Structure 1
Amino acid sequence: MEIEKCEITVIHEDVVNKVKKEMPDEEKLVATAELLKVFGDPTRIKIICALLKAEMCVCDLSALLDVSQSAVSHQLKTLKQARLVKYRRDGKVIYYSLDDDHIGRIFEAGYEHVMED
């Protein structure tokens, strides 16, 4: 796939300056890039999708996704470090859920984009 580009070099300084003033801090952009990287793993995406429907324990997620409990735990650790999931203890069982509504909206926006024709 070839990328279309200008046939001449011209810089629209008014646009560049306007956008430059409105760009977020570099630190915030890097943090956003790191967050989006977490969404880059299919198993983590499946976990997020499942947790959109219900809170689940590692055993439930393992059975649903047909992967080992160890693999689920590893991915949950990554999701927890990124503040995408939280947990609660009920006796000996630990239930995981999405940390807040933003995570569901990020997933749904990405899924909606993929589903466009």
Structure 2
Amino acid sequence: MRSNDEAVERCEFMHVHEDIVNDVENNMPDEETLYDLADLFKIFADSTRIKILYVLFESEMCVCDIAQLLKMSQSAISHQLRVLKTSRLVKNRRDGKTVFYSLSDNHIKTILDQGLEHVQE
């Protein structure tokens, strides 16, 4: 005899709500877009990158300043900044010999603010 939980988990497709399925299917982003979105969220899966993004919320900074603030090596910070730049989350500008980094746009702050709100609930 099957329990109610087993019956709920196992969909027999006896009655598909085609209108709902079609509406959802029509509103789903395409596979490539979903793949790109998954890649974006992978970038947020590293606490060092999250720290760097939070630092850059406050101010444009160079590698040396970020390294000192986070008590990490310049090499480690540079590596993470490369990843963030490749993902278009940060941008840079040169002032003489110094390269300053900042957030690419306000979407990054919005994404992290929403995530932080979610984990603090």
Task: Please give the alpha-carbon distance, in whole angstroms, between the structure 2 residues aligned to 1:22 and 1:95.
Answer: 40
Aligned to 1:56: 61
Q: Once the two structures are superposed, what CA deviation does each residue of 1:67-102 show, in whole Å capped at 9, x if it has no partner? A: 110000000000000000001111111110000111
Unaligned runs of 5+ in 2: none
Tell me which residue corresponds to 2:81: 76
Alignment of 1:44 onto 2:44: no
Indicate the residue corresponding to 1:101 in structure 2.
106
d(CA) in 1 for partners of 2:109, 2:9: 42
Q: Note the residue ranges of structure 1 that are not aligned, 5 or more in a row.
A: none
**Count of residues in Structure 1 that have an aligned counterpart in Structure 2:** 113
Name the counterpart of 2:20: 15
Task: Report the CA distance between 1:17 and its aligned residue.
Answer: 1.5
Q: Name segments (4+ residues, structure 1) moved above 2 Å.
A: 7-14
- 1-structure distance, mates of 2:94, 2:116: 30
Q: CA RMSD in A?
A: 1.5
For residues 57 and 17 of structure 1, do their structure 2 counterparts lie closer, same or farther at Cα, with a shift above 3 Å needed?
same
> How much has 1:25 moved relative to structure 2?
0.9
TM-score, with structure 2 as normaliser: 0.87
Q: Residues 80 and 7 of structure 1: is their aligned pair in 2 closer, same or farther, counting only changes over 3 Å?
A: closer
Q: TM-score, normalised by structure 1?
A: 0.90
**Residue 28 of structure 1 pairs with residue 30 of structure 2:** no
Change in CA separation of 1:95 and 1:8 when aligned onto 2, cut-off 3 Å:
closer
Task: Say which one has the larger Rg.
Answer: 2
